């Protein structure tokens, strides 16, 4: 468990590949990071991996910095990380404004950024220090060099503002110079050396007028807030359309030796944060052709490989790293990348809902949710189905049961109208499309008195459902837990912040179900999970459960037998099952952002066992069955139960509508009719 305070990290241009990579790294970190995604596109993939999304104007708008400062100040950020090249100069020039409100931005001084963006300047400046940077020309310089006979073809022309290797031109001779504009930078061709397995591939593509993006060396150096080196990572990359798809860790001492020649100059120049250097091993040795003073599109992948540079920069910013710390790369892991998919509930944010409707093809904005209920024929399950049936905001309810015949009308109550019924086997065998579900309401679990084998089966079923929720990115997961997770080592009333201390196999299994459900959030930060810690459920039922204390008292009293009380001062927390079901329905129809991680569901007024016996005796007498005698016997200290329900009241305005006497009367009435 972390004792650090929450670290608030903002990521700009969250829709970019770099922005996504940064937030992926934050999610992999064990630091207590809360992420804020800033961007202008409601459909931005990375925004929905962040804890909070904020809408901002384009980075090219005149008031962008002002609006960004407002957001950062409102969110009380600690660190702001840019996700786009074109923001670097803006942020560098306004660094003091952010520093003044306590925000650190891991970007270098303007000098370093300009050196990276202007490849002609980069070549001219760093060639004085090292011979490992390719010659780069502006159009005017190229023409002059051609006239002096200093140019060897072919050359590569790149748009100055280009990215991901888009818009590359191959210059094979003087005639091709007409294709070059003042918006291009021209560089010498950097081909893999003879002996490189990709040399033939590169040369064949070149003959066809193409550049094969193979055997590229990517060197990532990470520096701290004082410019000190924090780590370095080297890989050979294969790219497709400028995007690395194969990343193999590399041992390139020659390349690192070259970096060590010019890195001190960059540090003196104002380097902070990450810098990426790209090149190839050529017949002339290592040659570099590009630098970018930012994190990259494979920063998140490097984090998966054990090199979490974002985490390291954050840790350095808040003074967590010791002197001499160095992040190192793991060389047994290789990286492979491909497109990743995500689904988002349309009402996740107002911006997303508006953007979907504005397409002109999305007509279902006001459609209700689809809820899948497991354990649907349990005591709580039947109450939940009755509460959900016809409820506004719910379009479809699917009840999952192990024995559908229990709803065939022989045993009351029947399945409420409009509820769909499926056999649990259909779910387990893939005969039901779980991706069509908005909320899984998981109520199926072994009872307190069941065997350890049944508890193990229930845990396995919970694992199956949570895996489904992760794989299909289900927006909501409601998990029925128990008050027993609190244990009895601390006295009631327990709040949701009370530490769990389960003491029995049943309580431990329930606590494990909460942990399994919480894992859903690791797969999809936009999913919401609530574990309901339920008090003892009571209410009219077709079968009064003889092994439960209240049912024992009622049965004995109605038969005229004595009520036996052992101890008497221990407290019980009882709640009408219909009140619990109504809270579940409120939760299932509420905006996901309101869902808490855990929620106590209780009667709100614990009662002693002795008082419960007196209430049962009095109500039995009122119902004409005579007043039973109450016999009290000494007993060893018995546990007491009781939960604080203020969170449910505060968030959802819920409180139990049925008091103990009301529920007892209905239970007695049902027993009289039996």
pLDDT at 30 over 60: yes
Residues 635 and 599 in one domain: yes
**Quick check: pTM over 0.85?**
no
Residues 617 and 516 in one domain: yes
Question: Does 362 fall in a domain?
Answer: no
Q: Tell me the pLDDT band of 275, cut-offs 50, 70 and 90.
A: very high
| Residue 35 pLDDT | 96
Provide the CATH number for the domain around residue 100: 3.40.50.20
Residues 129 and 101 in one domain: no
Evaluate whether 300 touches 335 at the Cβ level (below 8 Å).
Answer: no
| Residue 410 pLDDT | 44
Question: Does 173 fall in a domain?
Answer: no
Question: Does 159 fall in a domain?
Answer: no
| Residue 21 pLDDT | 95
Residues 404 and 318 in one domain: no
* Spatial distance between the Cα atoms of 220 and 292, rounded to a whole number of angstroms: 10
pLDDT mean over 215-232: 95
Q: Tell me the pLDDT band of 449, cut-offs 50, 70 and 90.
A: confident
Helix (H, G, I), strand (E, B) or coil at 194: strand
pLDDT mean over 296-306: 92
Beta strands, E only, 471-541: 476-482, 528-534, 536-538
Q: Tell me the pLDDT band of 371, cut-offs 50, 70 and 90.
A: very high
Residues 261 and 409 in one domain: no
Question: Does 361 fall in a domain?
Answer: no
| Residue 164 pLDDT | 44
| Residue 480 pLDDT | 97
Q: Tell me the pLDDT band of 1, cut-offs 50, 70 and 90.
A: very low
Run of H or E residues at 92: helix 88-93
Question: Does 344 fall in a domain?
Answer: no
Report the domain count for the chain: 3
Tell which wins on pLDDT, 670 or 299.
Answer: 299
Tokens 């590169």: give the residue. 202
Query: What token pair was written down for 573?
Result: 């927390």
pLDDT at 342 over 90: no
Last residue of a domain, one of 105, 124, 155: 105
Residues 561 and 652 in one domain: yes
Share of the chain above pLDDT 90, in %: 60
Residues 446 and 499 in one domain: yes
Provide the CATH number for the domain around residue 381: 3.40.50.720
| Residue 408 pLDDT | 64
* Spatial distance between the Cα atoms of 97 and 70, rounded to a whole number of angstroms: 11
Residues 97 and 128 in one domain: no
Query: What token pair was written down for 243?
Result: 């995007």
223: CB partners within 8 A, 6+ apart = 229, 230, 267, 271, 272, 273, 274, 275
Paired residues of 36 in beta bridges: 10, 52
Last residue of a domain, one of 68, 84, 105: 105
Tokens 């606590």: give the residue. 511
Q: Which long-range contacts (CB under 8 A, 24 or more apart) does 205-208 make?
A: 206/154, 206/170
Run of H or E residues at 630: strand 630-633
Paired residues of 133 in beta bridges: 288
Residues 259 and 299 in one domain: yes
Number of residues in the chain? 674
Residues 119 and 43 in one domain: no
Tell which wins on pLDDT, 472 or 363.
Answer: 472
Question: Does 168 fall in a domain?
Answer: no
Residues 12 and 119 in one domain: no
Question: Does 319 fall in a domain?
Answer: yes
List the single range of 329-343, 422-436, 562-576 with lowest mean pLDDT: 329-343
Provide the CATH number for the domain around residue 220: 3.30.470.20
Backbone angles phi and psi of 227, in degrees to 5:
85, -5
Residues 90 and 125 in one domain: no
Given CA atoms 472, 473, 474, 479 in this order, what sign does their dihedral have? positive
Question: Does 567 fall in a domain?
Answer: yes
Phi-psi region for residue 52, left (φ > 0), alpha (ψ -120 to 50) or beta? beta
| Residue 62 pLDDT | 94
pLDDT at 245 over 70: yes
pLDDT mean over 566-579: 93
Mean pLDDT, the chain, integer = 89
Evaluate whether 34 touches 77 at the Cβ level (below 8 Å).
Answer: no
Q: Tell me the pLDDT band of 411, cut-offs 50, 70 and 90.
A: very low
Determine the structural domain holding residue 662 and report its residue range: 369-673
* Spatial distance between the Cα atoms of 518 and 497, rounded to a whole number of angstroms: 16
Eight-state DSSP code of residue 271: -
Last residue of a domain, one of 315, 336, 357: 336
| Residue 97 pLDDT | 96
- CA angle (455, 457, 460) in 5-degree steps: 110
Cis preceding linkage at 136, omega within 30: no
List the single range of 204-208, 232-236, 644-648 with lowest mean pLDDT: 204-208
* Spatial distance between the Cα atoms of 430 and 625, rounded to a whole number of angstroms: 53
| Residue 187 pLDDT | 86
List the single range of 110-124, 333-347, 434-448 with lowest mean pLDDT: 333-347
198: CB partners within 8 A, 6+ apart = 192, 212, 214, 215, 238
List the single range of 312-321, 352-361, 403-412 with lowest mean pLDDT: 403-412
Q: Tell me the pLDDT band of 77, cut-offs 50, 70 and 90.
A: very high
Q: Tell me the pLDDT band of 59, cut-offs 50, 70 and 90.
A: very high
Q: Tell me the pLDDT band of 492, cut-offs 50, 70 and 90.
A: very high
| Residue 546 pLDDT | 64
499: CB partners within 8 A, 6+ apart = 490
């Amino acid at each position: 468990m972390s004792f650090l305070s929450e670290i608030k990290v903002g990521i700009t241009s969250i829709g970019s590949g770099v922005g996504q990579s940064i937030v992926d790294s934050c999610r992999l970190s064990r630091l207590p990071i809360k992420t804020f995604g800033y961007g202008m596109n409601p459909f931005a993939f990375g925004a929905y991996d962040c804890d909070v999304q904020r809408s901002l104007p384009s980075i090219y708008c005149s008031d962008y910095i002002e609006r960004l400062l407002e957001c950062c100040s409102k969110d009380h950020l600690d660190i702001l990380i840019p996700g786009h090249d074109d923001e670097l100069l803006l942020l560098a020039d306004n660094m003091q404004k952010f520093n003044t409100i306590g925000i650190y931005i891991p970007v270098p001084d303007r000098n370093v950024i300009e050196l990276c963006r202007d490849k002609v300047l980069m070549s001219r400046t760093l060639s004085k220090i090292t011979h490992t940077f390719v010659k780069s020309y502006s159009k005017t310089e190229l023409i002059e060099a051609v006239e002096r006979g200093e140019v060897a073809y072919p050359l590569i022309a790149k748009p100055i503002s280009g990215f991901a290797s888009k818009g590359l031109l191959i210059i094979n001779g003087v005639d091709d110079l007409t294709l070059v504009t003042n918006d291009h930078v021209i560089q010498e061709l950097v081909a893999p050396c003879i002996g490189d397995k990709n040399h033939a591939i590169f040369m064949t593509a070149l003959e066809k007028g193409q550049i094969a993006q193979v055997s590229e060396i990517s060197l990532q150096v990470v520096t701290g807030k004082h410019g000190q080196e924090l780590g370095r990572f080297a890989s050979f990359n294969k790219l497709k359309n400028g995007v690395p798809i194969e990343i193999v860790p590399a041992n390139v001492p020659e390349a690192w030796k070259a970096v060590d020649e010019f890195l001190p100059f960059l540090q003196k120049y104002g380097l902070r944060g990450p810098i990426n250097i790209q090149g190839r091993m050529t017949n002339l040795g290592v040659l570099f052709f590009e630098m970018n003073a930012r994190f990259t599109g494979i920063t998140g992948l490097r984090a998966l490989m054990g090199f979490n540079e974002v985490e390291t920069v954050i840790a350095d910013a808040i003074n967590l790293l010791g002197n001499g710390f160095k992040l190192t790369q793991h060389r047994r892991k290789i990286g492979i990348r491909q497109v990743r998919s995500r689904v988002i509930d349309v009402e996740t944010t107002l911006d997303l809902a508006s953007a979907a409707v504005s397409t002109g093809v999305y007509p279902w904005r006001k459609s209700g949710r689809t809820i899948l209920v497991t354990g649907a024929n349990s005591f709580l399950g039947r109450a939940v189905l009755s509460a959900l049936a016809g409820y506004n905001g719910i379009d479809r309810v699917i009840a999952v049961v192990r024995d559908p015949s229990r709803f065939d009308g022989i045993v009351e109550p029947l399945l409420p109208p409009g509820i769909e019924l499926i056999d649990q086997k259909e779910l387990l065998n893939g005969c039901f499309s779980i991706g069509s579900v908005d909320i899984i309401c998981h109520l199926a679990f072994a009872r307190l008195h069941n065997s350890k084998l049944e508890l193990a089966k229930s845990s396995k079923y919970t694992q199956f459902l949570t895996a489904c929720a992760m794989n299909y990115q289900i927006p909501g997961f409601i998990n029925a837990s128990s008050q027993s997770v609190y244990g009895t080592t601390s006295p009631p009333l327990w709040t949701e912040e009370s530490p769990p201390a389960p003491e029995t196999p049943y309580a431990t299994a329930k606590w494990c179900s909460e942990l399994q459900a919480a894992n859903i959030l690791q797969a999809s930060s936009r999913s919401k999970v609530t574990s309901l810690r339920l008090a003892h459920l009571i209410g009219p039922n077709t079968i009064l459960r003889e092994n439960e204390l209240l049912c024992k008292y009622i049965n004995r009293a109605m038969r005229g037998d004595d009520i036996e009380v052992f101890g008497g001062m221990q407290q019980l927390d009882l709640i009408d099952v219909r009140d619990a079901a109504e809270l579940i329905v409120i939760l299932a129809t509420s905006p996901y952002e309101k869902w808490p991680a855990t929620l106590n569901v209780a009667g709100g007024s614990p009662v002693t066992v002795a008082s419960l016996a007196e209430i049962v005796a009095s109500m039995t007498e009122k119902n004409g069955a005579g007043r039973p005698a109450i016999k009290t016997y000494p007993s060893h200290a018995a546990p007491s139960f009781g939960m604080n329900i203020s969170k449910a009241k505060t968030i959802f305005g819920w409180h139990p509508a049925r008091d103990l006497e009301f529920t007892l009367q209905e239970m007695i009435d049902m027993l009289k009719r039996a």
